[in-house]
Every structure is written in structure tokens, then in C-alpha cells.
Chain A
Amino acid sequence: MLTEGKIGVYETICIVLIAVTAKLFFIDPGQLAKLAGPAGWLVQLVAVPITLVSFLFIFLLMKRFPGQDLVSVFETVFGKIAGSIISIIIAATVVFISVLFTREFSEAIKAYVYPTTPLSMIIIFFLIPVLILTYLGFETIARIFSSFVYLYLIGIISILILSVPLYKYYNLFPLFDGGIGHLAIVGLTRCSVYGDILFLAVLINSLQGIDHFKKGGLTAILFSGMFIFAVLLSLSLTFPKAVFTELTIPMLALTRSIEFGTFFHRFESIYVFLWSISAILAVGINLYIFTSIYCKVFRITDQKPLVLPLGVIIFSLNILLPSSTGIVCLLKLFRNHSCLIYFGMPILALLVAAVRGVKGIKTGA
């Protein structure tokens, strides 16, 4: 049995908040602008309620099987082999997004900060802290998330405040690129951004009870939604649609545009550190989730021996990706369909459990 330690609601919220919102610093906002124009922020009004409902289904599933984590629940509901396969699919999805995120970050750093540094070197130096995090285990990761969250939030809020002179309300018009129906469809697929909430179901035994799971999950979704909403609104107010959609990393473009007089400018130098740390934490938690699922499926009691091989695999997969264009295509594919894995699988498990009348055994815990 893997020992993962215990965390509180606060740490739970921090983990989900950073894991979800770290995506804002990369190509996601630009991709969303291509789909929804200047109404990307409104998409969140659809995506957040859908995520909340989906999370409530996950909650019902976990409540039905007290004392069991998601891997164990899948095994109980679908049987050992099928359940393990579903868990491995989720683990593979998590690795896939970790690879994309690592390469996305490395490409961004190469494009904006270190143009002549070999990509492999950037990836290696990015993966070292990520692997150390994974090695040290969940409790350490949770503590680091909770320590960093203030700096992270202050960073985001300060960008939003410093950009106020750039906001032009007319950049929001015409608001609807393809109508309200189109916006709802985009919202439905974009709930995958909040898919990291599923991590809580994998780690539920560290959360000190189902109530903590529910409270932490709902609060984290609402907070993440609020921040994503605010950042997307800020970007839409700053850039006309035609410019917004062509930016590789809109948040970086936003901070590069901030200036006060001839002295206060080039703010992005400060924020690069913020983005690096948030990216490291986001990939760190993803890789830990992979090791956690892997250990639970194969009954391994310690994740530490897996860390180095995992690092080699992640590095190799990163190097195999040919170009940033390929990453964008894969990310599009992932964003459009990953909600089926993140939310579809647990909901399917709940349906099967309800139909078959499978329930967990109540323990005294």
C-alpha cells in the first residue's frame, strides 16, 4: 500500500487551483480565442457549472465506495482487469498531458528567453525539480503547493491590475463569434481544462474523509473558474480578437505590453520565474498522479524507484515530438476529448455501479 500522507482542505484547493490555472500561462487562452473569439471568458460560465455537476457525480461515486480510492473503485465496479485498464488509460492521459506541458513550457522558454540553448537542456533542467517533487511524495508536493499559492495568486492579480491601462472595453465586441449555441458547445468541451479535479479522487484517502473531498473539490473548481474567467476577460479587453488569436502565449504578450512611463517596463522578466515554478508544480502533480495510479494498479508500495525511469520516458517522449505545431494539434485534440476520460470514466463507473447495485463496504473510518 502506497503511503501518501494526509492533507487538509486548504492544500487540496491549492493543488487543484495551481494545476488548473497554470494552463493560462501557455497556449490555451489563444486556442480558446480562436474558438470563441472575445467571449472566451463567457465560455467559463458554461464550463464551470458542467465541471461542478461532473464533480458531483464523481463525489457520488466516491461516496458509494467509502475508504476506496478511484483505482480501487474502478476495480470493484468493472472487475480487476477492466478496472485496471481504465485506471491505466487515465494514467496514460496524465502522462500524455505532462509530456505536452513539459514540451510546451520548454518551447515557450526557448522562443522567449533562451533561444540558443538546446531544447534538450531546457527539458532536463525542467524535469529535475519535477522528478524531485515526485520522488519526495504527495505530502511534500501538497506543502509546496500551499506555500507557493500566495506568491502565485499575487503574481496573477498583479498582472491583472498592472494591465488596467491597456483594457479597452470595445475589444469585447462583437461578443459572439459563432452564436450562443456555439459558445455552449465550446464550454462543454473546454470543461476538460478543469479535469485535474479528478486527481482528488485518486488521492481521496489523503483527504481525511469524503466531506473534505467534496468541500475541497467544489471550492477549488469555483476558485479556478474565477481566476480563469478574470484572466481571459483581461486578455480579451487588452487585445482585439485578430491579435489575440495570433499570439502564441497571450499572458506573456500581456506582461510585455505593460509599461508605466519610460522606466517601468519589461515586467515579463519577473513573471518568467512565476510561470516556471507554476509549470514545475503542475507537471509535478501530474507525474505524481501517474506514479500513484501505477503503484495502486500494480500493488507497488513505494513510488521512488519509478521516478527516474519515468523521467527518462518523459524526456524521450518530449524529444520525439517534432515541432511546436504538432504540440498545438495534440493539445487541441486533448482539450476537445479529454473530458471524456476525466469525467466520462468516473460517471460511467457510477452508472455501472448503480445498474449493477455494487456498493462499497462501510468501514469505521
Chain B
Amino acid sequence: MRSSLIKKIILVLLIVVILPIGATGCYDRWEPDDLAYVLVMGFDKGVTDKLRLTLQIASFRDQGEGGSQKKGGGQASATESVTVECPSLFTGINIANITTSRRISLMHSKYVVFSEEMARSGDFEKYVIDLPRFREFRKSTHIVISRGKASDFIAQNKTFLSMRPAKAFSLILSQQVRDSFLPRGRFFDLYNGLKSDIEEPVAILGGVNPLKLKQPGGGEHQESVSGGEYVAGEVPRQGGVKRDFFGAAVFRGPKMVGALDGEETRVLGMVTGDLQRGFFTIKDPENPDYIVALDVRPARRTQIKVNVKGDRPVVDLTVRLEGEILAVQSGICYEEKEKKAVLERAFEQEIEERMDSLVDECQNEFRSDIFGFGRRAVTHFLYEKEWDNYNWPEKFPTAQVNTDVDFIIRRTGMIFK
């Protein structure tokens, strides 16, 4: 009886001693204060070594301590950047660690920026394929291709209207849900695109905006109808931060082969399903001097049918959209049944034209299936050999793509004439 009690006491003591050691993970215990959280990584071609790596790290300084808030307001940042030259990302992290007493961690990185120069060279793939091997890197991280140097882009990557960079950088790229001028751009999708032969990847296009608007009477006058016909770095705006996200970088295999402007990216989003909602502007069909603004969203999932029976694949693409009238400058009553149909057909025609133009560009200029038509084509093949022999990347540029856009105006906003 007594020995049983002693045994139980010893057992309980052992559990009490052993459990805390196991449960606290003593070797891998890192306090949040011990770590320097990288929010953005930038990859440029190096000069003294292969890679120029820029790390933008969340600052631990208080808001009032200086550095995070510039005098005069405006562009302020709660981050610090370090640029090192190194043979690989991982050695670069070690080198960058000499600048801080904290251990550099990638656990909370929000996006990775590659310079366009690197994306257009074979070096892009070399660095991308190693990222998911590292445990701290997450595939939900976004990939940005900067039109200039990644280090210059990161230098201008500051917070605006917020002093919390982690949240700001995370939210800025989810804005594609709001206006769809950007592709989804997650590493998960890019990596799958790089690895498979049924689709080609796209990434978010970034750039540094000079923030200078043309002065009145300054000569050349360019009129935009849709408002999205710009690429990152060229969006006419003033104020805010210089860092621009606008449009998409197009890849063929592991190399970037071109860029889409904001409007083309929206049209691409209609096909891929990335478009959540967007405010579109078209010329008034009955009075082209005026414009009509529409709030557009997908009505149904886009239908893509691919026929692979002939020598030339035939793609039937049906996009179904619905919308709401936001503005009619001419005052024409598009709320009326007949007029509404006129506006709907005009929008359908406009989107069809943009879509045909984009398809043509992707087939003839980029030769890259960023629409993912190959995803449907592959379903006709049960055996890998058959699919390999079919050679979709070679077939895509020859495909006959029939586009059909169906648009219906569901609401007329707060006014019904």
C-alpha cells in the first residue's frame, strides 16, 4: 500500500519535471522581441555577388520615437531596410543579421519583390524554386515584379494612413478583391503555374511612381476611357506613397515575357475568376462625348470549353457579368427597358473587344496561356504521354478563341428615372 503510494508520488513528480521541458520547446523558444520580422524581400541582380537582397523589416520603435513619423506628415514608415549582396537568400539573411541584435525571421513576410531585369532572365526561377523549401516561407506570400530595381521599390514601400506596416502591406494586396486591377498574385498560384504545363503564371506588377501630374497646357493630351490603361509606375496620381501596384507581369515558363496594364488585368480576372468587383467606365453608347460608369461583378462562373479534336484547339469562352449603374453623365434614361438593353450590349461589346485584344496579345506576342485554357484542355487526356505529345504550350497560340460576354444591369443605383 505504502510502496504503491510512493510509486505514484514519484510518477507525479517525474511528470511535473518532464512535462514543462517538453511543452515549452526550450531549444526553439523565441520571444517576439527576439525576432526581426521581414515584411518584404527584394531580389535584384548583384554587382559584387550574384544577388542583391533587400529586406524590409518591421521596426520595433514606438510611433513617437522618431523614424516612424516624418516631420510634415505624408510619407512615413514604420520599417527599416537592409540591402546586402550575397550568393543566396539564406546566406543573405545571415549577413543581414549583423545589422540587428534580433534574429531575422521570414515567418510574417507579406510579399517578395523581384526586379523586372531578374524576372526576364533565367535567374528568377533559381531563386523562386528554393523559397518553399524553407520552413519560414509561406506559399500565401504575394509575388511582385518591380518595373525598376526591387531595392528602389522597397525604399518607396511605405505605409500610408496607417502606422502598422504588417497590416498595411497585407491589406494593400488584397485590394484586388475591391477593384481587380491586380492579379491574385499569390506564390501558391505562381509556383503551381511554373511547375505545370496547363497554365502560365502571372505576378503583380509594381513600380515607383514619380507622383507628378502633368500641368494644364503641357502639350500632349491623352484621354483615357476605362481609367485602367496604365502600368505600375505610370498611374497619373499625386499624393500617397510612391510605391505603385498596377497591372500584371506575364510569364512564359520561368521567364517574364511582358506586362498587362490595369484594364487588361481586369479582363484577365474575368476569365480566371479573380475579378470580384470593379467600377468600369465606358463611352455612353448614345452620346459618345459622355461616359457611363458601372459597378460590375461576375454573375456566374466563367465557362470555358476547349475542343481538342482538330489540329487547332477551339476555345469557347463565356463570361457572365452583372452590374449596377453608377453614373450617366448624359442624363439618358438607361433605366428604361429598351435603353438598358442598349447599354448592356454596348458594355458587352466593349468587354468582348478588350478580351479579344488580350487573347490576341497572349497568343501572338507573349505566347503564354495565362487564362488557363490548358486546365480545360488537359481534362480531355487520360494518359500523360498523350498530353505530352499534344504539346499544349505549342498549341495555345494557334487556338481559335470564341469569346462571348453576357452582361445584365441588375440595379440602377439610388436614382430611377
Contact = CB atoms under 8 A, between A and B. Distances in A.
Is chain B a partner of chain A in the same complex? yes
Interface of A: 37, 111-118, 121, 125, 128, 168-170, 173-179, 239-243, 253, 256-257, 259, 261-262, 265
B303 interface: no
B382 A116 contact: no
B28 A113 contact: yes
Contact of A177 (B21, B26, B140, B384): B384
B88 interface: no
A169 B196 CA distance: 14
Interface string B132-163: 00010011100000000000000000000000
B384 A170 contact: no
7 contacts: A115-B28, A116-B27, A118-B27, A168-B375, A170-B198, A174-B381, A176-B382
Contacts of B376: 170
B141 to A, nearest CB: 11
B185 to A, nearest CB: 14
Nearest to B177: A261
A111 B22 CA distance: 17
Contact of A173 (B22, B174, B192, B379): B379
A56 to B, nearest CB: 32
Contacts of A178: 384
Interface string B117-143: 000000000000000000100111000
A179 B385 CA distance: 10
Nearest 3 CB-CB pairs, A to B?
Answer: A117-B27, A242-B195, A170-B375
Label chain B's interface by main secondary structure. helix
A174 B28 contact: no
B175 to A, nearest CB: 12
B382 to A, nearest CB: 5
B216 interface: no
B366 interface: no
Nearest to B173: A262
A257 B188 contact: yes
Interface residues of B, number: 30
B386 A174 contact: yes
B196 A242 contact: yes
Given A170-B376, A174-B378, A261-B174, 12 more contacts: A112-B135, A113-B28, A114-B27, A117-B25, A128-B22, A170-B375, A174-B381, A175-B382, A240-B198, A243-B191, A253-B139, A256-B139
Given A115-B28, A118-B27, A174-B381, A262 B174 contact: yes
B121 to A, nearest CB: 22
B139 A174 contact: no
A257 B140 contact: yes
A117 B29 CA distance: 10
A117 B188 CA distance: 29
A117 B384 contact: no
Nearest to B188: A257
Contact of A114 (B28, B139, B140, B188): B28
**Most chain B CB within a 10 A radius of its CB, from A168, A174, A178:** A174
B387 interface: yes
Nearest to A243: B195
A170 B196 CA distance: 11
B6 interface: no
A165 B378 CA distance: 20
B170 interface: yes
Contacts of B192: 239-240, 243
Contacts of A174: 378, 381-384, 386-387
Nearest to A262: B170
Interface string B182-196: 000000100110011
Nearest to B375: A170
Contacts of B375: 168, 170
A179 B386 CA distance: 11
Interface string B159-173: 000000000001100
Given A128-B18, A257-B139, A121 B27 contact: yes
